[in-house]
Amino acid sequence: MENIIEVEGLNKKFLPDIHALSEFNLQVKKGITFGLLGPNGSGKTTLIRILVGILKPDSGRVAVINESLSWSARAAKIGYMTQSTALYQDLTVAENLDFFATIYGLSAKEKKKRVEELVSLVQLEGKEKSPVTTLSGGMRQRVSLAASLVHEPELVFLDEPTVGIDPSLRREFWDYFKSLNREGVSIVLSTHVMDEAAHCDELALLRDGRLLAQGKIEKLLAETKTKNIEDAFLSLEGHE
């Protein structure tokens, strides 16, 4: 299966003695849900910001989608849901989605159709005219997810996407992620929750800016001779 992301020897420092990422290597196949699992401060968000083009690495190779495309062409194929909401608080749900759809060049007809689809997807019917500032944290997460998908991207980055939402909606999010995979969309998401990681097709385990291991869950469990992801993580951590 072809890779949609390839990272080789990636390094990123924010201060002379603080290595956010160190000699980091990663391969992500097309059409899967790939999880970045690690505690806070392990480098997950820094890695995502480099992959979407917000941060520049100090050294190393980063290939996202098709290297022959210009960065603007690649960016148009990428969706990004940040950990802290990037929504406009004084705009309504529909106005936020319309704004992001406009940025990505959707026509008026396409915008109307897509906004209706996404409002239904994240179960915010009846809230279209509500300012984002009046919504609960979980509802804002729903709008953020919808905004990242408004232009139907090939590759979606989700930074802690299910934080603050109830279990039933979390399950629906995961069902939707799998439906996107079936349509050929690739998803990279970060999490520090072991149960969430179990839904991913493949995982990268991170600690202190380093890659501990990468692969399918069964492979990681077999290699560490453990029965669950938490124990596998602790085993790999102990061998560092």
Residue in this structure with the two tokens 């949609």, named with its chain if needed: 4
- Beta bridge partners, 207, equal 210
The model's pLDDT over 86-118, given as tens digits with 9 standing for 90+, comes to: 899 999 999 999 999 999 999 999 999 999 999
Domains annotated for the chain, with CATH where assigned, are 31-56+67-238 (3.40.50.300)
Distances (CA, A) of 233 to 120, 140, 188: 37, 31, 19
One-letter amino acid at 230 equals E
Stated pTM of the model? 0.90
pLDDT computed for residue 138 by the predictor: 82
Of the listed ranges 73-82, 89-98, 182-191, 206-215, the least confidently predicted one is 73-82
Three-state DSSP class for residue 60: strand
DSSP assignments along 102-134, one per residue: HHTT--HHHHHHHHHHHHHHTT-TT-TTSBGGG
Check whether 194 has a pLDDT greater than 90. no
- Beta bridge partners, 92, equal 131
What are the two backbone dihedrals, phi and then psi, of residue 4, each rounded to the nearest 5 degrees?
-100, -20
Q: How confident is the model at residue 240 (pLDDT cuts 50, 70, 90)?
A: low
* Arithmetic mean of pLDDT over the chain: 91
Beta-strand relationship, 186-191 and 33-37:
parallel
Three-state DSSP class for residue 176: helix
In this structure, the number of other CB atoms found within 10 A of the CB of residue 167 comes to 8
pLDDT computed for residue 44 by the predictor: 95
In this structure, the number of other CB atoms found within 10 A of the CB of residue 153 comes to 21
d(CA 117, CA 119): 6
**Angle between helix 108-121 and helix 93-103 axes, rounded to 10 deg:** 130
Residues 132/93, Cβ–Cβ less than 8 Å? yes
Q: How confident is the model at residue 239 (pLDDT cuts 50, 70, 90)?
A: low
- Beta bridge partners, 29, equal 3
pLDDT computed for residue 210 by the predictor: 95
Task: Pick the closest to residue 155 from 235, 95, 80 (CA basis).
Answer: 80
Three-state DSSP class for residue 204: strand
Check whether 148 has a pLDDT greater than 60. yes
The model's pLDDT over 118-143, given as tens digits with 9 standing for 90+, comes to: 999 888 999 999 999 999 888 888 89
Task: Pick the closest to residue 155 from 78, 66, 100 (CA basis).
Answer: 78
Distances (CA, A) of 222 to 76, 204, 205, 225: 39, 15, 15, 5
Residues 76/101, Cβ–Cβ less than 8 Å? no
Check whether 1 has a pLDDT greater than 70. no
